[in-house]
A and B are shown apart, each in its own frame.
Chain A
């Protein structure tokens, strides 16, 4: 593929041809301080503009700057891009960029056989090898024989490219990630312009850093042009995505945008009460920069105040939200109970992470399903939704808001760190396309009863400032209709049943369960939340191989869509991959007496499509026996 050509001035030069590929997975890996998240997100942003479909997975340690060179300090950013539609950040890496020995050691097992490994040879010194627990240098001992290894002295080449700027070696070394990025742009035929523009804007106030990063990026690209170590470079054509305007979006950004959208389409001022927690903090940060929309953010003193301030704002007539992750969700449960007792609209977003307790703060998991559906003291039903992709977080939080308002209830939306931090191209909706989700306030003071019911069993909303509607609500049991405090035994039974029925009736207001693939089949792979991409990709592969398999993805976890039982009964076997120990399996059994096979993974890592595919094949083979 590489050919030697004679240039105009008579020199012999090697020309590297493009190899067209459909699908690429790259893993950038280095120390926490090596700037791998930035490198990955820049590559992602450029790739999005090239028009590929893509999916990303940032995977970083919970320490901010773990000791350098260590195995546990390795930070990674995975990007999967393609000329076809894709659903996940990919199984195995076609190319690994390893900025140090630890990054190589941690990631090598996931490189495809024969895959590319670009290593920063400068970092492979005795100290770093020891920190990565290598007895011998893997670049020299033949252990990487099954891969295409490209040794590049990234640090020293960056330093020499920046030599004229008069920076210290320590300072100029910091730009080495841009050298690596430039090289990858060359390798995968991406333009440098978007990153060059970004550098200009980002470092406008630090001219020397702007210069250094720009030069390093170009140096990396030019190194690809001039070096003889590469025999091939790759091209991935744009994907055929539905027409429209696109941007790249992470799940947490999409959630924040969805909150702005919901407040606007509800015709109410928006409010978020929140306490910073990984991996949900970006929602608070994003919204705090959007005050111009009249959206108020309140960084509270703790998780409980996060939800209580939101409830107070809801009481005052705001479209109110609180955002958190598992441990914070546990702290909010009592206040969620209050919200459902006083029947005020409130959306609680739980960006799930590994638990229990502090667990794995930066790693995704789906183990808060029970906490969402079954949490709280007393008979305390709360609608629960789950987002299935980063961009879907926008629509999910909008839908949660719609339900909260229409049914005057707190609603829980489950996302997770994988969706929250992951990114994908998003075909942008217009504000006009979004439905009006406003609800009328109470209008007649004479007939106003705070706990009267409409056809949805929802109570009327009157907020402070409305003359003639003064009334009291609270956490004590309410008398039906009047809303006065009541300890009457029969009233309590009635109200418990009424609150349960109100939430159950939401099933009449949500879409029926849909299926990807055959209506009846040997196997349905049933999922919820962030497993969507892995299950969908696996299902496509199985279907392409001629297997009788469907994908059922549940977005409404409480109540379930009303046809769900009927749908599930059409399949001989149900496989439920979950990043927990079988919480949905338990709920399906409890709801419908339907049994399913749990496929549990609680490793702080999302499912790879290949894992789901293998598990499905294993089940299908036993069925055929």
Chain B
């Protein structure tokens, strides 16, 4: 064990994706999008440069949260909504670990919403993978905080009345420093995003749209089906103009603060909006396009900025505090201030 190291421990032993497969049978429904996330994390982690024993996966409750049982790393399957809080404590106590959270739209944004927003503003170096299927699946089909208005579920027979969260916007509003989106049906992109999450110092959040084959099948068909995907999604790349469409025939331009979908017939690539991962304002504008009528949904890294990292500041305070005080033993501490002696009489 190494509790004293400040930075993530460097890798000294290699391992493969196969080494990360636990001896437990995976019990997600056949066809569930969760399999894809599991397999991509198993492929990503051997590439990021940490030892296997320094990886911890923390989860709350829900289909997504069974994830730790299937990874042959350290893992803790917690209680509903609390994964982020548990992980925050673990990372604060053990900055040397690579800490991952598998959570769902209900676990993360509903019952765990408070921990989620506070972790983001603190910028603890934890990685939050939110599996977003827009439904409560493990409780068998009630609506979630990302269910669409009007969506019919077991607890909304006439359609959902709640207005959904836009998870990326929420993360940006909560002062998140790394916000990304990906999908279960694009494993290569997902793996790339997971590696980026590890590289980011501070809280990393990814909204992974993920198909629930039982309770909300085909919810993201528009974005994942080969026929419709290209015309309805954009895959953001830092420093590149935002162009999309089956024939690369569309792009995004800004009209004031408002993004406009334009045709490459009218504007050249160089005239399109250029993605800048370090621009918060742009991240807000792009995040608002997701699931919005008339716009493609953005995937990729919306924002990646640097800010002071919570657990490193904790370490810094320990150092400053130690440097400022001469008293370092318990006996010194208890004898600070007014003390007096009573002699043997």
For B111, the closest partner residue in chain A by CB is A304
Assembly CA distance A466 to B222 (angstroms): 45
Assembly CA distance A232 to B9 (angstroms): 72
CB atoms of B94 and A305 under 8 A apart: no
CB atoms of A269 and B3 under 8 A apart: yes
Contacts of B53 in A (CB 8 A): 464-470
Residue in A305, A317, A429, A430 whose CB lies within 8 Å of B93: A317
How many residues on chain B are close to A (CB under 8 Å)? Answer: 67
A313 within 8 A of B: yes
CB atoms of B93 and A316 under 8 A apart: yes
Assuming the contacts A311-B86, A312-B85, A472-B76, asked whether A245 and B329 have C-beta atoms less than 8 A apart, the reply is no
CB atoms of B88 and A298 under 8 A apart: yes
Assuming the contacts A292-B328, A441-B1, asked whether A271 and B318 have C-beta atoms less than 8 A apart, the reply is no
CB atoms of A428 and B22 under 8 A apart: no
9 closest cross-chain pairs (CB), A and B: A474-B77, A312-B89, A309-B89, A308-B85, A313-B93, A312-B90, A316-B94, A291-B321, A301-B118
For A269, the closest partner residue in chain B by CB is B3
Residue in B22, B88, B335, B341 whose CB lies within 8 Å of A305: B88
24 pairs of residues in contact across A and B, judged by CB atoms under 8 Å? A244-B341, A246-B341, A247-B335, A271-B92, A291-B314, A292-B324, A292-B325, A292-B327, A296-B93, A301-B115, A305-B85, A308-B79, A308-B85, A308-B115, A311-B86, A315-B89, A316-B89, A316-B93, A431-B331, A464-B53, A465-B94, A465-B97, A470-B74, A474-B78
Minimum Cβ distance to chain A for residue B312 (Å): 12
Contacts of B324 in A (CB 8 A): 292
B24 within 8 A of A: yes
A484 within 8 A of B: yes
The 0/1 profile, CB within 8 Å of A marked 1, for residues 71-91 of chain B is: 111111111001001111111
Assembly CA distance A316 to B74 (angstroms): 10
Assuming the contacts A246-B342, A305-B114, A312-B90, asked whether A464 and B74 have C-beta atoms less than 8 A apart, the reply is yes
B158 within 8 A of A: no
Contacts of A151 in B (CB 8 A): none
- Residue of A241, A289, A309 with most chain B CB atoms under a 10 A cut-off: A309
CB atoms of A301 and B114 under 8 A apart: yes
For B318, the closest partner residue in chain A by CB is A291
CB atoms of B338 and A241 under 8 A apart: no
- Interface residues in A424-445 by Cβ distance below 8 A to B read 427-431, 434, 441
For B2, the closest partner residue in chain A by CB is A465
Assuming the contacts A305-B118, A312-B86, A318-B93, asked whether A430 and B331 have C-beta atoms less than 8 A apart, the reply is yes
CB atoms of A243 and B85 under 8 A apart: no
CB atoms of B75 and A317 under 8 A apart: no
CB atoms of A472 and B93 under 8 A apart: no
Contacts of B329 in A (CB 8 A): 431
Contacts of B118 in A (CB 8 A): 300-301, 305
Contacts of A472 in B (CB 8 A): 22, 24, 68-69, 71, 74-77
B345 within 8 A of A: yes
Minimum Cβ distance to chain B for residue A589 (Å): 33
Minimum Cβ distance to chain A for residue B116 (Å): 10
Assuming the contacts A313-B89, A317-B3, asked whether A428 and B79 have C-beta atoms less than 8 A apart, the reply is no
B148 within 8 A of A: no
Which residues of A come within 8 Å of B, CB atoms?
45, 48-49, 51, 194, 238, 240-248, 257, 260-261, 264, 269, 271, 273, 289-294, 296, 298, 300-302, 304-305, 308-313, 315-318, 320, 334-335, 337-338, 342, 427-431, 434, 441, 463-476, 484-485
Contacts of A431 in B (CB 8 A): 329-331
CB atoms of A304 and B94 under 8 A apart: no
B337 within 8 A of A: yes
Assembly CA distance A261 to B330 (angstroms): 7
Assembly CA distance A228 to B212 (angstroms): 89
Residue in A310, A464, A470 whose CB lies within 8 Å of B97: A464
B304 within 8 A of A: no
B18 within 8 A of A: no
B322 within 8 A of A: yes
Contacts of A467 in B (CB 8 A): 13, 51-53
B96 within 8 A of A: yes
CB atoms of B90 and A313 under 8 A apart: yes
CB atoms of A470 and B345 under 8 A apart: no
Contacts of B92 in A (CB 8 A): 271, 296, 298, 309, 312-313
CB atoms of A305 and B78 under 8 A apart: no
Assuming the contacts A316-B93, A484-B24, asked whether A245 and B54 have C-beta atoms less than 8 A apart, the reply is no
CB atoms of B94 and A335 under 8 A apart: no
CB atoms of B339 and A246 under 8 A apart: yes
Minimum Cβ distance to chain B for residue A345 (Å): 13
Minimum Cβ distance to chain A for residue B107 (Å): 13
Minimum Cβ distance to chain B for residue A234 (Å): 21
B257 within 8 A of A: no
Assembly CA distance A357 to B327 (angstroms): 41
For B13, the closest partner residue in chain A by CB is A467
Contacts of B86 in A (CB 8 A): 308-309, 311-312, 315
Assembly CA distance A248 to B327 (angstroms): 19
The 0/1 profile, CB within 8 Å of A marked 1, for residues 98-136 of chain B is: 000000000000000011001000000000000000000
For B19, the closest partner residue in chain A by CB is A470
CB atoms of A464 and B78 under 8 A apart: no
The 0/1 profile, CB within 8 Å of A marked 1, for residues 297-310 of chain B is: 00000000000000
CB atoms of A465 and B115 under 8 A apart: no
Contacts of A315 in B (CB 8 A): 56, 76, 86, 89-90
Minimum Cβ distance to chain A for residue B93 (Å): 4
For A463, the closest partner residue in chain B by CB is B1
CB atoms of B89 and A298 under 8 A apart: yes
Contacts of A464 in B (CB 8 A): 1, 53-56, 74, 90, 94, 97
CB atoms of A485 and B328 under 8 A apart: no
Given contacts A238-B342, A247-B340, A441-B1, 7 further A-B contacts (CB under 8 A): A245-B335, A271-B92, A290-B333, A296-B318, A298-B92, A309-B88, A312-B89
Minimum Cβ distance to chain A for residue B323 (Å): 8
Residue in B1, B76, B318, B339 whose CB lies within 8 Å of A465: B1
Contacts of A471 in B (CB 8 A): 74-75
Minimum Cβ distance to chain B for residue A224 (Å): 24
Assembly CA distance A312 to B79 (angstroms): 12
CB atoms of A470 and B72 under 8 A apart: yes
B140 within 8 A of A: no
Residue in A247, A264, A269, A304 whose CB lies within 8 Å of B82: A304
Assembly CA distance A247 to B331 (angstroms): 12
Minimum Cβ distance to chain A for residue B144 (Å): 20
Minimum Cβ distance to chain A for residue B82 (Å): 5
- Interface residues in B1-51 by Cβ distance below 8 A to A read 1-3, 9, 13, 22, 24, 51
CB atoms of B85 and A470 under 8 A apart: no
Contacts of A245 in B (CB 8 A): 335, 339-341
Assuming the contacts A292-B322, A292-B325, A474-B69, asked whether A302 and B114 have C-beta atoms less than 8 A apart, the reply is yes
Minimum Cβ distance to chain A for residue B111 (Å): 10
- Residue of B1, B58, B329 with most chain A CB atoms under a 10 A cut-off: B1
Assembly CA distance A466 to B79 (angstroms): 25
Assembly CA distance A566 to B2 (angstroms): 48
Assembly CA distance A51 to B345 (angstroms): 13
Assembly CA distance A465 to B90 (angstroms): 12
